[in-house]
Amino acid sequence: MPLSEELKQRIAAEFPKYPEKRAVLLTALHFIQAEHDGWIPKGASAEVAALLEIEQIDVEEVISFYSLFHAEPVGKFHLQICANLSCCLAGARPLIRTFEEKLDVRAGEITEDGLFSIAEVECLGSCGTAPMLQVNNEPFLENLKPDDVPAILLRLRERATAPAGGKS
CA distances from residue 36 to 23, 28, 83 in whole angstroms, order as listed: 22, 12, 27
Instruction: Report whether 81 contacts 131 (CB < 8 A).
Output: yes
Identify which of residues 149 and 163 has a Cβ nearer to another protein in the complex: 149
Show contacts with another protein in window 6-25 (CB under 8 A): 17-20, 22-25
CA distances from residue 97 to 1, 85, 101, 121, 148 in whole angstroms, order as listed: 36, 17, 6, 14, 13
Q: How far is the CB of 87 from another protein (least distance, A)?
A: 9
CA atoms of 7 and 60, how far apart (whole Å): 19
In angstroms, what is the C-alpha Rg of the chain?
18
Q: Does 112 bind another protein (CB under 8 A)?
A: no
Single-letter amino acid, residue 90:
A
Instruction: Report whether 129 contacts 143 (CB < 8 A).
Output: yes
> What is the DSSP secondary structure assignment for residue 140, as one 8-state letter?
P
Q: Does 79 bind another protein (CB under 8 A)?
A: no
Interface with another protein by CB under 8 A: which range of 3-11, 58-66, 101-109, 110-118? 58-66
Q: How far is the CB of 124 from another protein (least distance, A)?
A: 5
Q: How far is the CB of 23 from another protein (least distance, A)?
A: 5
Identify which of residues 20 and 112 has a Cβ nearer to another protein in the complex: 20
Q: Does 125 bind another protein (CB under 8 A)?
A: yes
Q: Does 127 bind another protein (CB under 8 A)?
A: yes
Chain residues in the site for another protein (CB under 8 A): 17-20, 22-27, 29-30, 52, 54, 58, 61-62, 65-69, 80, 83-86, 88-91, 93-94, 121-130, 134, 137-140
